[in-house]
Every structure is written in C-alpha cells, then in structure tokens.
Amino acid sequence: MNVDVDVEKKKKIEVDLRKISQQIIDELAEKTLDEIQTNYSKSKYQAGEEMNFSKIGDENEKIVSMSGPQAWYSEFGTGTEGEQKPHPIKNRFDLKPYNSGETIRIASERVAQKDEAIEAGIGEGDLYWTYQGNDGKVYYTKGIPAQKQVYDAGQKIPEEISKVIEKYMKGMS
C-alpha cells in the first residue's frame, strides 16, 4: 500500500510540532515555577532571608529552581524537626545528617527554663541551637521539618503533562 504525502503539508507539520514542543516545555516549566512559589508561600516556616525562584533555559530545555541562603534548609529541613519529618530523597544529596554541626548542643535545665527555649518547645535534654535573626534578636530552635516545596512540585507536575500535550495537539489539527 502506498500513501502519498504532500511535501508542503509534511514540512508544516514538522514546524508545528517543533513549535508545539517548545510551547509544551515552556508551559510545564511555568506551571512548575508557579507550584514551587505557591508551596513556598504556604510553608509554615519561611526563611528570614530572601528566597529566589527562577526559570531558565532555551526553547528545548528549562530548569526551574528555588535558591537563596536558606533554600536547602527550607526544602530538606533541619535539626530534630527535620529528623522527625525528613525529606524523602535527602539521601540522594551530599548533605550532612540532621542535628550535626558545631552549634548543636543539648539543652540544660537552665536553658530549658528560658522563655525563648520554652517558646521554641525546647525541653531539658533536647538538641537545639541559637541564631541571630535579621532583627538582632537571638532565637532558639530545634530546627524545621522538610517543607519539600520543590519535591512536592515535582510530584504534582507530571500529572499535568498529558493535559498540556493534549491541549496543544488538539490545536494543531
């Protein structure tokens, strides 16, 4: 069986497919960026320092990211809180264990009685550390759970792929 194909129509289809592929990639990257930003805005703990969100790349490949001095801590969690609610893929990265580092210490009875420690839920024998906020105040903490802003976006966006492809392919006919 022979099928005749109009050469001009074939060229147009190839151009349209290339254009549609680029639109699909861009829309999925934009949805991913929006999802990460939404996840961050809903996070219980937000960094005291600026968090940046970006989408970079060319028409065939996009990289979407969350960055800033606190991005790794926000995504993966820290301390006892992070250890109790860890990030599901933390072990794939070269990150230190939860509750490691020079500043981690065990709360004494005296420390546990301080208002700042009580406010942070730190009891005698708990692991904790302190840090100075941008406001100059010293804060006590047991860390934060993994907030998984990027991970959760990565879990949700694949559900959108077929819908986005279908939307653009329908417009091609």
pTM: 0.84
| More confidently predicted of 29 and 133 | 29
Beta strands, E only, the chain: 52-58, 61-67, 105-106, 127-132, 138-141
Q: Cα(36)–Cα(75) distance, rounded to whole angstroms? A: 11
* pLDDT band for position 5 (cuts 50, 70, 90): low
pLDDT of 171 > 70? The answer is no
pLDDT of 169 > 70? The answer is yes
- Please report the pLDDT score of residue 170 as a whole number: 83
